[in-house]
Amino acid sequence: MSDSRHPGRARAARLLAVSLTLALAPCAAVHAADACEASFQAGGDEATGLVFDTRIKIPQLRVSDALMKMRDIATADGFEVGKDVIGNGKGMLMLVQRPGKKTRPFGIEVNANDQGTVSMTAHMPPGMQATSENIRPAMCGMLARLQSSGGETGGGTSLGSLATRSDTSAPAAAGGTMPAPVTPEESSRICTANVEGLTGEVDDTRPVFATWTLGPGGDDARAALERVKKGAGGMSDLRVGNDSYAGKIGRLDVDVVLTSSYVDSSSSSKDGETPPFPVHIEYDAGMAAISLTAQPRAGRKMNAGRIGYLMCTLAAMANQAAKPEKPRGYLSRALIPSFNRDRREAEGKTSLQSQSHEALYKRAIYAGKAFVITPAVDLKDKYGSMTQSQKREKALIDYWVDATAVTMWQDRAHPDNQLTTGYGANEFAEGFRGWTAAIPWHDSLYTVYFVDPGTYDLKKASLELRRASLPTTTESHATTSPKIGTVTLAATLDTEYYRTQEWKSADYRTTMVDQPYCVTQPNGSGCAYVAHEQVANTEMVSPAHYEDVSHKRAAGGLAVSATLTRPFASFTVTPGDVALIDGFWADADSAAIDTNACKKDDSDTITCAITRFSLWRVPAMANAAAMGRQATADVAPVKSGIFADAHPVPVQVTAKPTDANPSAIEAPGAKRYVIDAK
């Protein structure tokens, strides 16, 4: 995720104020500036990030007018201006101070209400120095112009020029040119190198194929995905699905409707038919990067080479890149180089993967992303001592819950922007919403995400239960206004593994052995010659016994998805931030439902009101970031820089702590928090 560092430090704007021109402003503006300076407050510290806040009150100034004027002021002063959000007599506008030669970007939040109060809050990244004496007149100069013409640029001082980074040895964020440029040929090579096929350690019935690559930049998401629509629309085996756009990010589904050419040649027709499956595409114009994920459903084994080639063909359409070469795995399942391949090819792929990942982080920094580091369940640590058979037969329910449990945070201003956290929420399953790096530390896996700056609310969680079925409910008392939220339960058909003892008869092995014999002379003295014949020799290889045999069969399960009416927890990140936040884990006991307040959506799905909802809260350990920095220092300097800049960011939790036994979660400091309907 070049400040040369990880996802989160790049993007900010130029707080240009007009303190030098206030003497020439109208009298009302001068009074507004005086009131603003009187309300000015400074908080935080250099280690965690300085915060400056001030406000003025302009009677009869409507929210929409205030934000419109501030947008004009900020645009004239060189800020990057986000979308405004207005509702219920309040409004918010996000400004970003662009990076300078010696300064990183940072965010300024403008809030207005229908009482005429307008406030500005500047969030400096950790390590950036600034003084109240310099920042106060700059911010108040902008607010004062709301009462004057509002659009004049003045002769203001750049707020960015008044704040400097103490760590001047670290590279600053990129300027106006997209970092890590790639040629059309390189774009396709990166895509092919990054193709992965994942099946899971326990169950191979839900394969996931994914890849991502970089483009040249200069396009918005809609233009890039329109090219994909046009290209995919001309392919007989594809059907273009729905698209959506939020800020600089666009998402598109392309369905593979004719699947026969993507089935592995070694797959038997007895494995069942393979229904159409989607390819999820996400294009982030801020990074000029595209991710693709294909998720075939249960059926015959899929050909990873062909699916990878399809995804990279779609990526090439978006990036106007060269058509990808058919990989060596195009005719077989294997895409990852195996031992019988040319070693240089395997090493070249690994090197390209590493280089492109570092480039992606540089672009995330350039795009002004914020980085989030949070602990998740570490399946390899928790179940590492078990064999695959033990995981399948003895710990399948718990293992599957831990593998599928995710929590979803929504950007308050742009709900389509989400942060999905959990062991299985990696970039292969979730695209750019998933974690892009992970460090194991103290029974947890510290995962790294990059997100757009904003305030994120934890409002959703989901997981899957094996060996479960839909509860019996009555629809007559279904509620339309649940107090806590709702849970949707969808029946699934899974694979269950079990062992039996079967009687095995004794095993014998028969071999032919050479047996010589003597042929005597007629007078009976001595051997005339020695003859040979083949004689069958039978011996027992193993005695009759009972043997453990593993079987699998279809079994019912449930996909559980909870949606809350109010946030369980919230946190805020600013442009360039590297936030270390507590982890929140769902388990099989997270949601209690009222079976008398359910509605049947269809024969296999019901939605019920939640009566109690809880999550495990796992404190983030600060030394995990130091461990991440050390682990990546020699192999991934950009990632290492991200870990180096990590700092704790508080999470506001509306749920209440309980006395639940934390031993079940096996994470240091874990505590269960709950929202109760009472």
Q: What would the mean pLDDT of 581-595 be, rounded to a whole number?
A: 93
Chain position carrying tokens 């004057």:
148
pLDDT of residue 422: 95
Residue 150's pLDDT band, with cuts at 50, 70 and 90, is: very low
Helix (H/G/I), strand (E/B), else coil: 192 = helix
Residue 374, pLDDT above cutoff 80: yes
pLDDT of residue 156: 46
Q: What percent of the chain has pLDDT over 90?
A: 36
pLDDT of residue 153: 40
pLDDT of residue 678: 67
Residue 628, pLDDT above cutoff 80: yes
Domains and CATH numbers, the chain: 16-165 (3.30.530), 184-357 (no CATH), 369-494+552-676 (no CATH), 506-543 (no CATH)
Residue 204's pLDDT band, with cuts at 50, 70 and 90, is: low
573 and 372 Cβ atoms separated by less than 8 Å? yes
Q: 608 or 26: whose pLDDT is higher?
A: 608
Q: What would the mean pLDDT of 417-444 be, rounded to a whole number?
A: 89
Residue 6's pLDDT band, with cuts at 50, 70 and 90, is: very low
Residue 619's pLDDT band, with cuts at 50, 70 and 90, is: very high
Neighbours of 546 (CB within 10 A): 10
Q: 369 or 74: whose pLDDT is higher?
A: 369
Residue 171, pLDDT above cutoff 70: no
Question: Tell me, what DSSP letter sits at residue 436?
Answer: S
pLDDT of residue 3: 35
pLDDT of residue 105: 72
Structure-token pair, residue 410? 């929504």
Residue 26, pLDDT above cutoff 50: no
290 and 162 Cβ atoms separated by less than 8 Å? no
Least confident of 72-86, 222-236, 519-533, 647-661: 519-533
Question: Tell me, what DSSP letter sits at residue 505?
Answer: -
Q: What would the mean pLDDT of 461-469 be, rounded to a whole number?
A: 91
pLDDT of residue 102: 54
pLDDT of residue 94: 83
Q: 497 or 26: whose pLDDT is higher?
A: 497
Q: What would the mean pLDDT of 445-458 be, rounded to a whole number?
A: 95
CA distance 641 to 171: 10
240 and 254 Cβ atoms separated by less than 8 Å? yes
Residue 172, pLDDT above cutoff 70: no
Q: Which of 113, 139, 116 is nearest to 51 (CA)?
A: 139
pLDDT of residue 243: 94
Report the run of H or E that residue 374 belongs to, with start and end. strand 370-377
Residue 299's pLDDT band, with cuts at 50, 70 and 90, is: low
Q: Which of 420, 466, 443, 448 is nearest to 644 (CA)?
A: 448
Residue 375, pLDDT above cutoff 90: yes
Q: What is the mean pLDDT of the chain?
A: 81
Sorted by sequence, the CB contacts under 8 Å of residue 576 that are 6+ apart come out as 3, 8, 9, 10, 11, 12, 104, 105, 106, 125, 173, 365, 368, 370
Residue 333, pLDDT above cutoff 70: no
CA distance 346 to 406: 33
Least confident of 24-33, 494-503, 524-533, 560-569: 24-33
Q: What would the mean pLDDT of 54-71 be, rounded to a whole number?
A: 87
What's the half-sphere exposure (Cβ side, CA atoms, 13 Å) at 222?
Answer: 4
Give how far Cα 511 sits from Cα of 255, 504, 540, Å: 57, 21, 11
